[in-house]
Structure 1
Amino acid sequence: MDFSVGDIVQMKKSHPCGSAQWEILRTGIDFRIKCCGCGHMVMLPRAKFEKNVKKIIPKEQ
């Protein structure tokens, strides 16, 4: 999968706030993602991030 800043991804497990959608803020060896439900930000190593991504949500046009 090809990820870029600004993409919205759906993770396999939902955040405690109930949302499973996250916005990518930073890519590289580590990913910084922000919960679309509550705004909580998390940094994850690339391997863990790629393992937990279910799909990329297409941008609305």
Structure 2
Amino acid sequence: MEKNYELNSFVEMKKAHPCGTNKFQIVRMGADIKIKCTHCDRTIMMARRDFNKRLKKVL
């Protein structure tokens, strides 16, 4: 099951951010993926492999 996402896509993750939301925007892509919380604007950097495991759906 391949999920299609690209730069500036909004995604929903399996686990919520500590601020309470689980919706993020992709702001950088490469070997690592950087996502920004849509609620508090904090950024999280993770390996693409971890991102694919934690991704629930593309919005």
The normalised TM-score by structure 2 is 0.92
Counterparts of 1:31 and 1:2, CA distance in 2: 14
Structure 1 stretches lacking a partner, 5+ long: none
How far the C-alpha of 1:22 sits from its partner, in A, is 0.4
Counterparts of 1:43 and 1:25, CA distance in 2: 10
Q: How does 1:1-61 map to 2 (within 5 A)?
A: 1-57=3-59
| Partner-residue secondary structure (3-state), 1:16 | coil
Contact preservation (8 Å) 2:11, 2:26: yes
Q: How many residues align?
A: 57
Structure 2 stretches lacking a partner, 5+ long: none
The normalised TM-score by structure 1 is 0.89
Counterparts of 2:19 and 2:31, CA distance in 1: 27
Identity among equivalent positions (%) equals 39
